[in-house]
Structure 1
Amino acid sequence: LTNKLLSFFPQYLEEKPNRPVQCVSGFTSAFISPFGDVYPCVPSGEAYKMGNLLESTFDEIWTSGRAREVREAVNAHECNCLLTCETTNSLKFSPSYLAERVYQRVLS
């Protein structure tokens, strides 16, 4: 099982991931660094920085054109993450996926 799990990671680290649910990072949550930088999620890199709280208010950052661009990039799966930080929120917005998994686990 360990080798099988480890073989799964290169797909996420080197290629665009094929996520079973849509990531909602940057829509339902934000990560604020100790330096005031606002990102859609914890593993986001500098390319996904929405703004800085030392320069703008959170509301200004959250509703900015830059934040919209970052959300579009997340929505287009341009980031390579494991979706672990937003799994719960993402599943809330993917009821058909959740229902299918429950059906497979319980009724199959």
Structure 2
Amino acid sequence: AFRDRYYDIVKRTLVEKRQVIPCLAGVASAQIAPNGDVWTCCIRAESVGNLREHNYDFAATWRTAKANELRRSIKAGECYCPLANASYTNMLCHPPTLASVGLDVGKATAIAALSPSLRSKSTRLRNLPVINTADEL
């Protein structure tokens, strides 16, 4: 259900060319490049600072003016992408999406539990002979 919802979001994002759910890149996630550059988003790949330049202090690197500007830009919807990593993080942090997926899973579970064809024993088990202990006496 979660993957299906992701594909729905990807399709809408590409067709509508906008963030269809809020992007939390730079808030709920960060990327560190091999050279120590810290990015709010790997698609934008704009460094907010370098860990070496901040004595390997992530918090100091993460709280720069550049980082705040990129977070503002992302929050304002100035970019959009269908990147799986960012999308799954966004979905997990978006209560309406979580509720909708939860309802879908609940519906599917209820249907499976109530459907006689899905609830009955497999054909292999149905074709086995039934032996009653009373018949053996």
Q: TM-score, normalised by structure 1?
A: 0.68
Q: Percent identity?
A: 30
Larger Rg: 2
Alpha-carbon distance in 2 for matches of 1:16, 1:29: 22
Contact 2:13–2:80 under 8 Å retained in 1: no
Structure with bigger RCO (C-alpha 8 Å, 6+ apart): 1
Aligned length: 97
Structure 1 residue 50 and structure 2 residue 48: aligned? yes
Equivalent residue for 2:14? 11
Q: 1:16 to 1:73 in 2, by over 3 A?
A: farther
Q: Which runs of 5+ in 2 are unaligned?
A: 1-7, 109-137
RMSD of aligned residue pairs (Cα, Å): 2.8
Alpha-carbon distance in 1 for matches of 2:84, 2:40: 13
Higher relative helix content:
2
Alpha-carbon distance in 1 for matches of 2:77, 2:17: 7
Q: TM-score, normalised by structure 2?
A: 0.56
Query: How much does 1:59 deviate?
Result: 1.4
SS in 2 for 1:51: strand
Q: Which runs of 5+ in 1 are unaligned?
A: none
